[in-house]
Structure 1
Amino acid sequence: METPIQLNQANLAAIGTRIPVPKYARSEANADIVHIGVGGFHRSHLAYYLNQLKKGAGTSAPVPPTGICGIGLREADTNLYDIFKTQDHLYTLMVKHPSGKIDAEVIGSIVDFKLGITDPEPVIARMAHAGTKIVSLTITEGGYNFNPTTGVFNFDNPDIQHELQNPNDPKTVYGFLTAALKRRRDGSLPAFTVLSCDNIEHNGDMARKMLLAFAEVQDPELATWIAQEVCFPNSMVDRITPVTTAADIESLAQNYGVQDGWPVTCEPFIQWVVEDKFSNGRPAFEKVGVQFVADVGPYEKMKLRLLNAGHSVLGLLGALHGHPTINVCMEDETFVSYLGAFLDQEATPILGNIEGIDLEDYKNSLLERFANPNIKDSVSRICSESSAKLPKFLIPTIHENLATGGSIKFATLVIAAWCYYSDKQADQNGQPLEIIDAMQDELYQAAKETTNNSLAFLQLESLFGGLSGNERFASCYTAMRQELFETNDIKKLMQDLL
């Protein structure tokens, strides 16, 4: 391959001789979608869909002028801000197929990026601008700032307390949204839509509930206006998007001749199901495969309880065994069988019928996607922030099966493994594990305490609710936890359950 070409707007024509590039006009003036949380997933999903729409995929209509202004509210977003500035907000999407084929393409739908860390005003102004129609979110499960058991907004967060006293100096998504919506109301402008793209069941409803809880304390009159004017559609999103590695950057440069500081890799599969409820219009995403439905609930539940929970099953059990990635877990027959048993015996029975979906086909597609040898999704990424994930992905399945008398053993072992993982912070071979969790210290202390009180880990009620008081679950969990700590052999426990 010839010398790599630096990715930027001026070099697009030259890069276009090597990989597909956007040929549509790109302008900051058209940034009518403002997106908070520009991680890899956003760039492989919503931004990809918009790029396809602007390319004219699936339609012969004129190119819509829609563009995305990305927003960074964390110190960690500074690196992407700097790279985007150099690259004119362009990036490369590398779709990795199971066969080894990689489809690389430059995406141009993001046309601006603003940091709200030190100076919130440009971000508030962009969100409040008359041209902004949608503010979308990928802020992770933990970004919604609520107690996972009670669902109550966490007003103890110091940033929230600061915002309540200083509404013009926001720190969190809630402070920025209320500041921008106040300007919209005061300027007699229509409200924008708040569109959650996070893996939370009823994510739009949750965004609405949390924003109103905050606004009712900060500005009750504004809260009333938000409740009446702002739409919060629920949505179900899906595309496995691993963390970009140095090897990905090098591969793009060596094999495709493109120098990109932060490309994104993903699987071929993509899905987006959205409740068709918008305050101020929306792009015609249905032309590029997005499903707009009246009720997203069944699709959300299917994805969270099968794909996301399945990921956590492989992630936590795989981490203890020493498997580095999800695809390596899927090369181990015990893990494949265990995952299948969990999906078939515990997750599927509580889903019911889902219109237009063959659950057996969907589960088979999950197995294929998890096994994709070119994705190499690290178990550490899957295990990160488990305290925000498991109360939404896995623990509700346990509760529902306890209520109906269904199987709980496969999910229960995952909870026992989580206790071991939190306590030892190493795999069964003694190799240290990378623990990334906002509740890491609390999880560690509770797991340590199980030597004196076998139910101590379960007594983190913000995560487990009343599970420690359920005799059937507590008995099953206690026996599994004890055997795991004594044998240090997760695979043997898995095989015993099959």
Structure 2
Amino acid sequence: MRISQATLSGLAGDVARPGYDVGAQRCGIVHFGIGAFHRAHQAVYTDDAMAAGDRDWRIIGVSLRSGDVADQLNPQDGLYTVVQRSSGGASARLIGAVSHVIVAPQDPDAVIAALASADTHIVSFTITEKGYHRRPDGALSREDAALASDLAGQGPPRTIYGFLAAGLAQRRAAGLPGLTLVSCDNLANNGARLMSLMRDYLGGTDAALAEWFVQTCRCPSTMVDRIVPAVTDADRSWLADRIGLQDAAAVITEPFCQWVIEDDFAGPRPRWEAVGAQIVADVGDFEAAKLRMLNGAHSALAYLGLARGYQFVHEAIADPALAATVRTLMRCEAAPTLRPAPGLDLDAYADALIARFANTALPHRLIQIAMDGSQKIPQRWLETLAVNQAEGRSCAAILEAVAAWIVHVRGDVRPVDDPMAAKLADLWAEHGAEGIAAALFGEGGVFSATWTASPEAIEAIKGQIAGVAA
């Protein structure tokens, strides 16, 4: 049987249950992008907050494209299990924080109604970097088809901006307060960037609503951290034997979990800080360390590991040469660009990350990390390169990783899952191995707004490309 409210009597007795009456809670959060990461992270914190006494914070999930997650969660009444795996074993718990999932293309009016509801106070996002429809320089990508459609008012909304504009307009007309928009994606200064992007979008469609948005809504920056690999059919089969029920929406993750949130809210919120989150005045130092060290190292392992024939993070970090490159990237290249957050020892942080990468109980596919590299490398590598270059330091490890990414996006070894895949392939065809680095990172290059490579760096990348390609 499949897990649901009606079948919970069949759930194994050692699976932890929600510490509150799930069915009695109203929904206070709308979440866009309700994939595995959200279910293993923000939904768990919210579940814990309700177990600690908070009420009416269940989550309405929104899928902007596929109906897959709705098909997983809705027949299960929003219930699913989170499994923590480590070398010490595995534990499972049932999460009740999610109410249901709306597939936006199928029912756009339901999404807008959820945003406009008086019960809703928070809208959160795990839509990946590409979900913000940004150009490499960070501005709105107005030439993007979905965004252009929303800006022109052609049919139902297709992007977060279109849905938010419609929901906020209804709230304003009804005299309801603004919302707190919480980006949980790996964008540097993600709250301020979301505020700027949303203001820019509204400024082009409804100036009065744009002013109301700035006055009444808030966009706190956040830093999120938990490794959540994609679940396999073998995982689901193992879990069914473990808990006694089928769970199509299960997630498997590591014991470690961190959430740092800027203290800037428009209205009520769950007491996430009572269950482990950190509410702080400034997220910037936490965020930069995570992006440049953890995410930067993850992306390096992905492209360098794939080039060496590895499939998983734990295999790549077990390669002495790759481990040395990652340590150099974190300790010698990323760390010097950072101002340590209170209580954060960067050397100890690097050691802890290596240990997390080496967790063999949590197979994390390199190809999953390699997705959407064009959207990730500016904040993971290029900002680090820019700071070091300005201070006269070279970054051999990151340049090696950059070269591996460039070879990866050529697309002749494996399919490239990236919104810029076609453009990157065209640049390869036009410039070849001799000119591709300059076309991407030299003066006037695609990514030069974040980092304009010196001639020496261009030559170093060209040399590394030859080595990776060989």
Tell me, yes or no, if structure 1 residue 240 matches structure 2 residue 240. Answer: no
| 2:252 maps to 1:268 | no
Q: Cα offset for 1:452? A: 5.5
| Residues 69, 101 of structure 2: 8 Å contact kept | no
Paired position in structure 1 for 2:75: 86
Cα deviation, 1:221-276, whole Å, max 9, x if unaligned, reads 10011011100000000000011111110110123322111210111100000001
Q: Return the match for 1:54 from 45, 50, 55.
A: 50
Q: 2:179 aligns with which of 164, 167, 192?
A: 192
In the alignment, structure 1 segments of 5+ residues that lack a partner are 57-61, 427-432, 489-498
Which amino acid in 1 is paired with 2:99? V
Pair 1:73 & 2:64 matched: yes
Aligned to 2:338: 351
Mapped to 2, the partners of 1:130 and 1:210 lie a distance apart of 25
Q: What is the rounded CA distance, in whole Å, between the counterparts of 2:14 and 2:182 in structure 1?
A: 35
Out of 166, 169, 177, the position equivalent to 1:182 is: 169
CA-CA distance at 1:355 after TM superposition: 1.4
CA contact (8 A) 2:378 2:450 kept: no
Write the distance in 2 (CA, Å) between the matches of 1:98 and 1:471: 46
2:378 corresponds in structure 1 to: 391
Bigger CA drift: 215-224 or 461-470?
461-470
Deviation of 1:450 (Å): 1.9
Distance (whole Å) between structure 2 residues aligned to residue 452 and residue 314 of structure 1: 25
Partner-residue secondary structure (3-state), 2:176? coil
- 1:145 and 2:136 equivalent? no
Query: 2:388 & 2:48 partners in 1: Cα distance?
Result: 41
Instruction: Work out the percentage of aligned pairs sharing the same amino acid.
Output: 32
Output aligned runs, 1:297-446, within 5 Å: 297-423=284-410, 425-426=412-413, 433-446=414-427
- C-alpha separation between the residues in 1 aligned to 2:262 and 2:449? 30
Distance 1:397 1:237 in 2: 19
- Secondary structure of 2:187's aligned partner: coil
Match of 2:87 in 1: 98
- Tell me if 1:41 matches 2:37: yes
- Match among 1, 6, 9 for residue 5 of structure 2: 9
Moved more, 246-255 or 269-278: 246-255
Q: Which amino acid aligns with 2:221?
A: N
SS at match of 1:399: helix
CA distance in 2, matches of 1:484, 1:314: 13
1:483 Cα deviation from its structure 2 partner: 3.6
Cα distance change of structure 1 residues 106 and 469 upon mapping to structure 2, 3 Å threshold: closer
Q: Is 1:24–1:63's contact at 8 Å kept on the other side of the alignment?
A: no
The more displaced of 405-414 and 11-20 is 11-20
Are 2:116 and 2:168, in contact at CA under 8 Å, matched by a contact in 1? Answer: yes
1:118 Cα deviation from its structure 2 partner: 2.8
Select the residue among 50, 55, 59 that pairs with 1:64: 55
Question: What SS does structure 1 have at the residue aligned with 2:264?
Answer: coil
**Structure 2 Cα separation of the partners of residues 248 and 326 of structure 1:** 18
| Corresponding residue number in structure 1 for 2:28 | 32
| Structure 2: distance between partners of 1:416 and 1:478 | 7
Calculate the TM-score normalised by the size of structure 2: 0.95
Return 213-222 or 64-73, whichever deviates more.
64-73
Q: In the alignment, which of 457, 463, 469 is matched to residue 479 of structure 1?
A: 463
Bigger shift: residues 22-31 or 402-411: 22-31
Q: Counterparts in 2 of 1:452-491, with a 5 A limit? A: 453=435, 455-458=438-441, 461-465=445-449, 470-485=454-469, 488=470
- Counterpart among 283, 291, 301 of residue 296 in structure 1: 283
Deviations 1:307-340 (A, max 9, x none): 0001011111001001100011122111111111
Q: Secondary structure at the match of 1:259?
A: coil
Secondary structure, counterpart of 2:22 in structure 1? coil
C-alpha displacement of 1:18: 4.4
CA 417–116 in structure 1, closer or farther in 2 if over 3 Å, else same:
same
Aligned residue for 1:430?
Answer: none
1:109-124 to 2 correspondences below 5 Å: 109-124=97-112
Shift of 1:160: 2.0
- Following TM superposition, by how much is the alpha carbon of 1:23 offset from its aligned partner in structure 2, in angstroms? 4.7
Distance (whole Å) between structure 1 residues aligned to residue 326 and residue 433 of structure 2 = 29
Contact 2:263 2:281 in 1 (8 A): yes
**CA displacement, residues 4-44 of structure 1 (integer Å, 9 cap, x when unaligned):** x4200112233152422225222486110110100000000
Aligned equivalents of 2:175, 2:452: Cα separation in 1: 52
Following the alignment from structure 1 to structure 2, what is the Cα–Cα distance between the partners of residues 95 and 116? Answer: 31
Number of residue pairs aligned between Structure 1 and Structure 2: 467
Structure 1 residues 252-261 or 458-467, which shifts more? 458-467
Whether the aligned pair in 2 keeps the contact of 1:450 and 1:456 (CA below 8 Å) is: no
Partner secondary structure for residue 47 of structure 2: helix
Q: CA deviation at 1:457?
A: 4.4
Query: Which runs of 5 or more structure 2 residues have no equivalent in the other structure?
Result: none
CA-atom RMSD in angstroms: 1.8
Q: Aligned equivalents of 2:321 and 2:415: distance in 1?
A: 24
CA pair 67-318 structure 1, distance change in 2 beyond 3 A: same
Once the 2 structures are TM-superposed, how far is the Cα of residue 148 of structure 1 from its aligned partner? Answer: 2.2
Give the distance between the partners of 2:59 and 2:450, measured in 1 at CA: 43
Quick one: structure 1 residues 262 and 29, their matched pair in 2 at CA, closer, same or farther if it must change by over 3 Å? closer
1:394 aligned counterpart, secondary structure: helix
Range with greater deviation from structure 2 (113-122 or 395-404): 113-122
- Structure 1 residue 415 displacement after superposition: 1.2
Q: Displacement, 1:296?
A: 0.4
Q: Does structure 2 conserve the Cα–Cα contact (< 8 Å) formed by 1:314 and 1:326?
A: yes
User: SS of 2:446's equivalent?
Assistant: helix
Query: Which residue identity lines up with residue 306 of structure 1 in the other structure?
Result: M
Cα deviation, 1:53-89, whole Å, max 9, x if unaligned, reads 2223xxxxx3523211111111x2x121122221111
Counterpart residue type for residue 73 of structure 1 = L
SS of residue matched to 1:273 = strand
Give the CA deviation at 1:434: 4.1
Letter of the structure 2 residue corresponding to residue 207 of structure 1: L
Asked if the contact 1:345/1:407 (under 8 Å) is kept, the reply is no
Normalising by structure 1, we get a TM-score of 0.90
Distance in 1 (alpha carbons) for counterparts of 2:449 and 2:210: 30
What is the CA–CA distance in structure 1 between the aligned matches of 2:300 and 2:63, rounded to whole Å?
A: 31
Q: 1:89 to 1:36 in 2, by over 3 A?
A: same
Amino acid at match of 1:481: I
Deviates more, 1:414-423 or 1:312-321: 414-423
